[in-house]
Structure 1
Amino acid sequence: MNRGISLKVVITDLIVEPLDIEREVLGDIAEVIALDAMTESELVGRIEDADAVMVYHYFRFTRSTIERLENCKAIVRPGVGYDGIDIQAAGEHGIPVCNVPDYGTEEVADSAMAMALSLSRGTHFLNSRLRRGVGDWNVEQAVPIPRLRGRQFGIIGCGRIGTATALRAKAFGFDVAFYDPYVPDGIDKALGVRRERSLSGLLSSSHIVSLHCPLTDETRGLIAGAEIARMPQGSFLINTSRGGVVDSQAVVEALANGQLAGAGIDVLEQEPPQPNNPVVAAWRDPAHPAHDRLLLNPHTAYYCDEGCVEFRHKGALETRRALLGEPLRNQVNSLSPLESCNTVSEI
């Protein structure tokens, strides 16, 4: 089926010219336009006639925008998390929402392990302090540094990324356990890891906890001060999932009082953060007790050069399927009033 170029696909944010990847996939059936918007308000008057929309992550794509779409056949998120899109509103208006759930699986798992190892081996702490001339040129200021083999590596959310992280942690000799009430029985046996039936049980027994769950109503604020207090003193917390899953201010406080020995945060509740963000302030202040124990990245755990091509290509392919009326591979909403579909697993 070829309709010429009568259709219109709008990319709202992040991706700008040249649109070579998207046009290679869509150019024979649609005009592809990138708006390079930073706020939802910038979409007004520029998106209403789109036949399909590709949305990244600089702002929330809300009901008010969805209700202005006149003939939209799909909203595609060329990435894993879709919490920034009102999928219920889209479903109520008959618009499928799709994502690309697999493109960054290896990279996020690699990043989580990199943070966990750098922190738990004392590498980050010593590098941070010795670079600015604090302490003697030896390991003493970083101790205790217990052997990692045999210690529990706890994973929250055993979907694609959680599974990839579990396999990596297992290869390093960790005793790997996970908490995820939504994956079927037997995943633990297939992976050769243990399953914890309660979040508190996982937290209380893990030397390192790594989060790999989406942001939903169920997981928002999943790890806050009370949960961190259940972890063993001197343990480590890694978040490469979504900022809203973890209370990052509580993490900083736990680093300052010694409950946590280190934390790796790739995602914050607001991105980019405000200049007065207290977590960023602590990370930048050498005098703050959390400074040397906090690894902070600007939501980059997903990235590699090849992965960037992959999520753009796969997002464009899903958009093409929607425009041509073909079966969609990764639809995440229902085209009727949405029932609860909360999950802990990373999708």
Structure 2
Amino acid sequence: MNKKPKIIITDFINDNLEPEKVLLDGRADIWALDALSEKELQGRVEDADVLIVYHCLRVSQATIRQLKNCKLIVRAGVGIDNVDHPYAASKGIPMVNIPDYGSEDVADSAMSMLLSLMRGTHGLNSRLRADIGPWSFTQVQPLHRLRGCKLGIVGLGRIGTAMALRAKAFGMDVAFYDPYKADGYEKALGIHREENLVTLLSSSDAVSLHCPLTPETQHLINANTLSLMKQGAYLINTARGAVVDTSAIPQALESGQLRGAGIDVLENEPPGKDDMMISAWKNPGHPAHHQLIVNPHAAFYSEEGLMEIRRRSIKAFLDVLEGKSLKNIVNSIESP
């Protein structure tokens, strides 16, 4: 009797796996480890035929080297920086991601943060709850209507495009910076293209980040680039945590360089007790307490989106099982 393939979900999922089991229909065994660190994978994944990785940990060479039977790694999400996929390729293990499962959810979350900050609803709610100032709109003066304000988008992929369409619906003037995007997208979307990051930052009333994490984008937004932004601008990050050096945000808010920020992703999740931005956010005496929105890497989430990513992850395995071509491969497997 042939042994069933073994699928291991490394992290994030910790329920009865009913959505996965329904699709598998007995064709594979599946376990969810709910690990919080790579160390917790030791001795538990070596015999996996398929590894499904979410975003709570990193899978490095040390783990991949121990995989004896692995035929596929599924990065259950968009970002691919938390798996050493080039090393997996060198071991003959393809990796796929799920690039389009949550485009609308992340864009909705980014837009909701932007609206809450630019219309003052977050700041007013926070200050009134703390019994600060008068029961009046004057607490957030001056505010300007969104129509005509310029939104700068960094990274015009699926989510960046979805964000552009939402901002346009509010009458915002939308521009983007993406050196890897072919010409013509700006015309198709009716937005503007900026040829360099400095121009985008210095001319935008708000900036929303939608780029992947690469060596080029590591700490793309830092104390220096924040200083290039318009005085009193807003910053939204629903991309990857390490794209922003968040230690620079408290000072930018305190000086008024930033008027508000919405941060859904952090370089270290959950943050440590010594995280400078989180400390400022928790401090009632710091402007960040009322001008900063922090979420726990939740922009991707909706019940529909979560079910979609779980099903799509299993579908990738079924494609392998049925000898179909894999979609969304992110590493190249060299022929021996």
The answer (yes or no) to whether the contact 1:5–1:27 under 8 Å persists in 2 is: no
- Which residue number corresponds to residue 238 of structure 1? 236
Structure 2 CA distance for aligned equivalents of residues 319 and 253 of structure 1: 47
- Which residue number corresponds to residue 292 of structure 1? 290
- Which residue number corresponds to residue 330 of structure 1? 328
Matches within 5 A, 1:258-297: 258-297=256-295
The answer (yes or no) to whether the contact 1:4–1:29 under 8 Å persists in 2 is: no
For residues 146-205 of structure 1, what are the alpha-carbon distances to aligned partners after superposition, in whole Å with 9 as ceiling and x for unaligned?
Answer: 222111110000000000000000000000000001111110011111111111110010
Aligned partner (choices 125, 128, 141) of residue 127 of structure 1: 125
For the pair 1:156 / 2:154, whether they are aligned, the reply is yes
The answer (yes or no) to whether the contact 1:152–1:206 under 8 Å persists in 2 is: yes
Structure 2 CA distance for aligned equivalents of residues 129 and 41 of structure 1: 43
For residues 299-346 of structure 1, what are the alpha-carbon distances to aligned partners after superposition, in whole Å with 9 as ceiling and x for unaligned?
Answer: 101100111100000011012212333211111111149xxxxxxxxx
Segment of structure 1 superposing worse, 193-202 or 142-151:
142-151
The root-mean-square deviation of aligned C-alpha atoms, in Å, is: 1.4
Structure 2 CA distance for aligned equivalents of residues 292 and 158 of structure 1: 30
Segment of structure 1 superposing worse, 140-149 or 130-139:
140-149
The answer (yes or no) to whether the contact 1:265–1:296 under 8 Å persists in 2 is: yes
Give the drift of 1:212. Answer: 0.3
- Which residue number corresponds to residue 223 of structure 2? 225
Matched positions, count: 335
Structure 2 CA distance for aligned equivalents of residues 31 and 217 of structure 1: 37
The answer (yes or no) to whether the contact 2:247–2:275 under 8 Å persists in 1 is: no
Give the drift of 1:289. Answer: 2.3
Give the drift of 1:16. Answer: 2.1
Give the drift of 1:5. Answer: 5.3
3-state SS, counterpart of residue 164 of structure 2: helix
Segment of structure 1 superposing worse, 114-123 or 20-29:
20-29
- Which residue number corresponds to residue 108 of structure 1? 106
Residues 105, 4 of structure 1: CA spacing in aligned structure 2 closer, same or farther, 3 A cutoff? farther
Structure 1 CA distance for aligned equivalents of residues 244 and 334 of structure 2: 31
- Which residue number corresponds to residue 55 of structure 1? 53
Residues 193, 4 of structure 1: CA spacing in aligned structure 2 closer, same or farther, 3 A cutoff? farther
Structure 2 CA distance for aligned equivalents of residues 235 and 229 of structure 1: 10
3-state SS, counterpart of residue 327 of structure 1: coil
- Which residue number corresponds to residue 319 of structure 2? 321
Give the drift of 1:131. Answer: 1.1
For residues 211-249 of structure 1, what are the alpha-carbon distances to aligned partners after superposition, in whole Å with 9 as ceiling and x for unaligned?
Answer: 001111111111111111111101100000011001111
Matches within 5 A, 1:1-347: 6-336=4-334
The answer (yes or no) to whether the contact 1:5–1:29 under 8 Å persists in 2 is: no
Give the drift of 1:47. Answer: 0.9
1:208 corresponds to which letter in structure 2? A
Q: Could you tell me which runs of 5 or more consecutive residues in structure 2 were left unpaired when the two chains were aligned.
A: none
For residues 74-124 of structure 1, what are the alpha-carbon distances to aligned partners after superposition, in whole Å with 9 as ceiling and x for unaligned?
Answer: 100111111100011101111111111111100110111111111011111
Segment of structure 1 superposing worse, 297-306 or 5-14:
5-14
The percentage of counterpart residues that share the same residue type is 54
Segment of structure 1 superposing worse, 145-154 or 239-248:
145-154
1:318 corresponds to which letter in structure 2? A
